[in-house]
């Protein structure tokens, strides 16, 4: 059988590659899989591996406290070389826009191994927003033999950059596959009770008769003044809408953790919770009235749950949701955050129109399409 080596290092990559790995193992495709994780973000990554019952064949363990982009790149490239030489795969599969994504693609190129890039072609048009992800994704696309674009817009971006149409495949986004798989696991009523009791006991969150706003921030370009502005906006929003619960799973990065805790820890209707595993987070999205985030994955997932998204970024590489009306790009100014959020609360017609839009990112069958293409190409 032809061997596919999956390489990833962060939670978003794991979420979006898990359906492919699961599909490849559960059905009789003419391919075998091998999994290598760099553990670029170890704690968050492990949660996803456990949820989807994936046991890595290799864990490179490159994470260290205070690591820089230089640390991740140098250590990861050296260790991935050893795995490639031992496994000698027919193809390497990577996802998205992380440091691990780029360095695995570069290593595969050095070894003249075929490269498949899941979620290729997303572009913000600004090399520093998101930073460094925009350039990692661009460079990975250039190195790849097969670009699996989630949407027609992404495919057009690739063609504009002179990537051959023969190497571009529009598949939908595997993140929607992962979402549907997780929702299926959560159908039990006991799961619902478990989560409600857990968050009520741990944080005092109420679930009856309240509306919840879910907030997430993690991107590097948000650090510093932008994050401080976001926190100020959330604080003002909490003051103007005291009946609303604002739930913020705080990313463990010290740059995020320290700023958020210092500004919002004492606000009574803001609940700063520990980082959530993916299953818990999907459940939390379902309980939310709307979501404020800088996450690309949430921009894709939330529409499938009927949840409007306000994007706390200056630019997004996912314009399909903006055009479809499932998300609104509102920036990072505190005034805009308050005004845009209150508008969605007060204008019920606008809320319903946003919540009922069709998700432009996929139908839950992207993984099957990608594997069928790989079988033909390898």
CB contact at 8 A, 11 and 54: no
CB contact at 8 A, 238 and 272: no
CB contact at 8 A, 92 and 19: no
CB contact at 8 A, 153 and 319: yes
Question: Which is catalytic among the residues 97, 294, 320, 340?
Answer: 97
Question: Which is catalytic among the residues 13, 23, 119, 300?
Answer: 119
236 tagged catalytic: no
Dist CA 312 CA 323 (whole Å): 16
Instruction: Tokens 């572009």: give the residue.
Output: 123
Dist CA 298 CA 295 (whole Å): 5
Question: Which is catalytic among the residues 123, 218, 219, 313?
Answer: 218
Dist CA 98 CA 12 (whole Å): 9
Which one, of 144, 54, 141, lies nearest residue 91 by Cα?
144
Question: Which is catalytic among the residues 123, 251, 313, 318?
Answer: 251
Tell me 126's DSSP state. B
97 tagged catalytic: yes
Question: Which is catalytic among the residues 71, 192, 220, 257?
Answer: 220
To the nearest 10°, report the CA torsion of 281, 286, 292, 297: 60
251 tagged catalytic: yes
Helix (H) or strand (E) run with residue 216 in it: strand 211-216
257 tagged catalytic: no
Dist CA 139 CA 169 (whole Å): 18
Which one, of 295, 340, 290, lies nearest residue 317 by Cα?
295
Dist CA 175 CA 281 (whole Å): 14
168 contacts: CB under 8 Å, gap ≥ 6: 120, 121, 147, 149, 155, 158, 159
To the nearest 10°, report the CA torsion of 273, 274, 279, 285: 30
Question: Which is catalytic among the residues 11, 13, 23, 133?
Answer: 133
Q: What is the CA radius of gyration of the chain?
A: 20
Catalytic residues: 97, 119, 133, 218, 220, 251
């Amino acid at each position: 059988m032809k061997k596919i080596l999956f390489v990833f290092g962060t939670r978003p990559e794991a979420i979006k590659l898990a359906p492919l790995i699961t599909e490849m193992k559960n059905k009789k495709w003419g391919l075998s899989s091998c999994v290598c994780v760099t553990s670029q973000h170890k704690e968050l990554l492990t949660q996803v591996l456990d949820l989807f019952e994936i046991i890595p064949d290799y864990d490179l363990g490159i994470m260290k406290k205070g690591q820089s982009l230089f640390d991740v790149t140098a250590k990861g490239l050296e260790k991935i070389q050893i795995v490639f030489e031992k496994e000698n795969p027919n193809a390497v599969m990577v996802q998205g826009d992380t440091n691990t994504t780029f360095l695995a693609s570069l290593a595969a190129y050095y070894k003249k191994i075929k490269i498949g890039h899941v979620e290729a072609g997303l572009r913000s048009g600004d090399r520093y927003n998101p930073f460094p992800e925009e350039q990692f994704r661009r460079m990975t696309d250039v190195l790849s033999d097969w670009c699996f674009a989630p949407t027609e817009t992404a495919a057009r971006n690739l063609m504009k950059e002179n990537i051959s149409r023969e190497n571009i495949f529009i598949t939908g986004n595997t993140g929607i596959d992962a979402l549907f798989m997780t929702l299926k696991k959560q159908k039990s009523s006991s799961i619902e009770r478990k989560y409600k009791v857990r968050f009520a006991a741990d944080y005092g969150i109420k679930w009856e008769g309240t509306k919840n706003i879910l907030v997430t921030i993690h991107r590097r370009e948000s650090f510093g003044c932008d994050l401080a502005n976001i926190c100020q906006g959330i604080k003002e929003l909490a003051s103007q809408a005291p009946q609303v619960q604002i739930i913020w799973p705080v990313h463990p990065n010290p740059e995020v953790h320290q700023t958020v805790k210092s500004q919002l820890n004492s606000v009574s209707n803001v609940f700063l919770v520990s980082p959530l595993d993916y299953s818990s987070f999907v459940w939390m999205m379902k309980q939310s009235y709307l979501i404020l985030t800088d996450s690309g994955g949430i921009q894709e997932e939330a529409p499938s749950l009927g949840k409007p998204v306000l994007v706390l970024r200056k630019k997004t590489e996912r314009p399909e949701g903006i055009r479809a009306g499932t998300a609104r790009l509102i920036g990072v100014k505190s005034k805009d955050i308050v005004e845009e959020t209150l508008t969605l609360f007060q204008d019920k017609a606008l809320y319903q129109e946003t919540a009922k839009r069709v998700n432009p990112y996929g139908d839950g069958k992207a993984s099957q399409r990608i594997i069928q293409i790989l079988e033909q190409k390898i």
